[in-house]
Amino acid sequence: MLGNEIVSVQAMQVFTWRSHPGIEVFVRTRNGSEGHAVCTAGISIGTHEVKFAYDGGTKWKGMGVEGAVRNVEEIIAPHIIGMDASKQYEVDSAMLNICENAKEQIGGNAIAATSAAVLKAGAKSLGIPLYYHIGGVNAMYLPVPGVPAAAGHKRYGGCVTTPDTKPTYSFMCFGFDSFSEASYAGWEVQELWKDTMRNLGIYPPDYYGLFEIPEGIFNTDEELWELMTKTINKAGYEGKIGIQVDVASDCYYDKNDKLYKGLFSRNPKTKEEMLELYIKAVKDYPFVIIEDPFFEDDYLSHAELVKNVDIMIVGDDLFTTNIERVAHGASLGAANAVLLKVNQVGTISDAMEMVQYAYRKGYGIMPCESRGEGEAIADYCVGINAFAVREMAVGVVANRFLAIEKELGSKARFSGAEGLYGKRLINIRK
């Protein structure tokens, strides 16, 4: 085993950009290599995601994770110390076999953070980049990135459940020959968008770069789509940059009335009316990705949308990175891409198994950094040759992508328009 043996596993509660605590795990190997990873909850949380261990009570609004920290150091650590950090599947299996329903008993956050920390420690102990540890010689494609644009639910009277930032919109940069070119285009269109928002009296953007659209600016989101389209065209990127929206439709779905309330406009909508709205949006505006367009258990509506539009339909709450849910979706033709969030499912091994299954079924993969992955999401993307990534055209994660592109040299490939749709080669609507 040489220096790959795990000799130390420690954890701590940390602050995150989510405004609630997360758990960070540190794994060290005998040769001094260390991997650390953070796991935190997201904004839109699907009911089928793995359950996190929270302290409850009033402190940290019940979302403290000191108990999860203890579970890492007192329960997980004794079972994986002495194991080979470079053998990810074996370490993950050891954690899941600690007890029955380990993810639930120990906490999905405790297991996920440890699993990701082991992955990083394993790569460092072998002296190889993280993306190479994940994908080997096949790791070469950089994904289509984007820049954040707009967010908010309050403009049409709120939503059925919180969170308070959905839907979120982004500009996706696909029509380029390299990630660096796409990154620059993203920066350019983002600068123009900032000017557009300031002219409307909307500022500043939030920590993520999203502008909260207040009530009274637009009568419907179609006016926002028009504004985004004009910004793309003004930047000179018509047919090269498109619109992505994370609808997070569960936040707007009233299960009793079976209506979507306050989504895109004040009018409540049936699933049939939502379908018509999406078809019109794709026809009239440069949408390239729609995420979670329907309630998380409405597979049939997701399938119907795929039949009627020629863009990427991504399942996040629909699939929750869960291979069983992806399999069910694939059997019905529901969506055509999966949002990858390792922390939704628990371990790196679980996530990678889902990725390979999705690829075999012709689905695309779109990783997302929202659960604490940080710049490691860039390595995940390249390691699995992901088609697209949620935003990340600029900023710290973009720096990691640019570094990987430089490291790969002539081997580097950009997914571009073809990668954005995987095997579904289509005409990009302008």
Question: Alpha-carbon distance 48 to 71, whole Å?
Answer: 22
Q: 65 near 55, Cβ under 8 Å? A: yes
**What is the helix (H) or strand (E) element at residue 180, kind and residue range?**
helix 179-199
> What's the pLDDT score for residue 293?
98
CB-neighbour burial class of residue 55 (10 A; exposed 0-12, middle 13-18, buried 19+): middle
| Confidence (pTM) | 0.93
Please tell me the predicted confidence (pLDDT) of residue 429.
Answer: 31
Active site annotation includes 341: yes
Residue 311 has φ and ψ, to the nearest 5°, of -125, 180
Name residues whose C-beta falls within 8 Å of residue 377's C-beta, 6 or more positions apart in sequence: 367, 368, 369, 389, 392, 397
Bridge partners, 26 (sequence order): 10, 36
Helix axes 179-199, 396-408, angle to 10 degrees: 160
- Dist CA 313 CA 282 (whole Å): 11
**Bridge partner residues of 340 (DSSP):** 367
pLDDT digits (tens, 9 = 90+) for 136-180: 999 999 999 999 999 876 678 766 665 557 899 999 999 999 999
pLDDT score for 46: 59
pLDDT, residue 162, reads 55
Give percent of the chain above pLDDT 90: 80
pLDDT of res. 51: 83
What residue ranges of the chain have pLDDT lower than 70? 1, 42-47, 153-154, 158-164, 421-430
- Lookup: tokens for 306: 């795929």
Using CA atoms, how far apart are residues 401 and 379, in angstroms rounded to an integer?
8
C-alpha to C-alpha distances, 349 to 39, 91, 95, 218, 293, nearest whole angstrom:
16, 9, 11, 45, 28
Distances in whole angstroms, Cα of residue 363 to Cα of each of 174, 233, 421, 424: 18, 30, 9, 10
The catalytic residue among 215, 223, 272, 273 is 215
What pLDDT, on a 0 to 100 scale, did the predictor assign at position 372? 75
The Cβ of residue 71 has, within 10 Å, a number of other Cβ atoms equal to: 24
Question: Alpha-carbon distance 253 to 270, whole Å?
Answer: 10
Give residue 25's pLDDT.
Answer: 98
Of the candidates 211, 291, 261, the one whose C-alpha atom is nearest the C-alpha of residue 46 is 291
| Predicted local confidence at residue 346, as pLDDT | 85
- Residue 130 contacts by C-beta under 8 Å, 6 or more apart in sequence? 119, 120, 123, 376, 379, 380, 383
- DSSP letter at 99 equals S
| Inter-residue contact 392 to 377 (CB < 8 Å) | yes
CA–CA gap between residue 75 and residue 191 (Å, rounded):
49
Please tell me the predicted confidence (pLDDT) of residue 341: 87
- Give residue 422's pLDDT: 52
Torsion of CA 68, 47, 244, 190, to 10 degrees: -30
Which of 194, 269, 271, 341 is an active site residue? Answer: 341
Q: Which residues contact 318 (CB under 8 A, 6 or more apart)?
A: 46, 292, 294, 296, 299, 302, 325, 329, 334, 335
Ordered by where they begin, the domains of the chain are: 2-127 (3.30.390.10), 135-420 (3.20.20.120)
